[in-house]
Amino acid sequence: MLLRSPKYRPSQFGQSSADRGRTDRYLAGDALDRDPRMIRIDRIEQDVVDRCLAAMPDHAVVVDVPCGNGRMSQCVAQQDLLQLVALDLNQHMLQSMSVRNQAGMLDRRVQADVLHLPLPNKCADLVINMRMMHHLPNRPLRLKVLRELVRVSRDWLITSFWTTHSWRYIRRRLLGKSIRGFPISPYQFMDLVDEAGLTIEQLIPTRRLYEEQVVAVCRVP
């Protein structure tokens, strides 16, 4: 057998106090990743979000969950006519949003579990769910999260996943190294979003055939 069975690293999904050291660095003002690779991925993600935001009607409601330190929330807050709701389970991440230059988004922060969002049905024009799916260890949990996001959105969902169809993933498998997160194939992702009641409008790889990160723009029928 060419590839050994994958060994996955544990995920911190569901821990409200996870990653305290990292968020402390954000609070100290070191909010920008200096790694050129991560800067490139971040730029691609923000370009996708910015294009979707440009198509939103005035006063559209945009939900960012998990919002982390506010990377995507800041894009929304820069648009004066859009209404932002930023949610995250990790209170330290919510606090770290204060280092960004959009003071208006700070009163839109809510600590919440993505599996049980304190939001009414179909209240958002767009839901942003970036860099979360690869933390979820199994299909039932991914499906549960997607269905909760679909419940909240009345139109659009931007999410992302890590794909097994990438050189970074295959290389780690060949070397017998542990796998960061829980990558899935594009076919598994398409099957997942179909069962959740979504239509994929576009899949955008952050670097085709090399990077694991893929951004998906989905429509709620």
pLDDT for residue 37: 85
Are 64 and 100 in contact by the 8 Å Cβ rule? The answer is no
Least confident of 29-38, 54-63, 85-94, 176-185: 29-38
**What pLDDT score was predicted for residue 132?**
95
pLDDT for 218:
98
- Report the distance separating Cα 84 and Cα 103, nearest Å: 12
Given phi > 0 = left and psi -120 to 50 = alpha, else beta, which region is 143?
Answer: alpha
Walk me through the domains of the chain, giving residue ranges and CATH numbers. 35-219 (3.40.50.150)
Q: Is the pLDDT confidence value at 135 over 90?
A: yes
**What H or E segment, with its residue span, contains residue 154?**
strand 153-162
Instruction: Enter the pTM of the model.
Output: 0.90
Report CA torsion sign: 51, 52, 57, 60. negative
Q: Are 182 and 135 in contact (CB under 8 A)?
A: yes
Q: How confident is the model at residue 33 (pLDDT cuts 50, 70, 90)?
A: low
| pLDDT at residue 16, rounded to an integer | 54
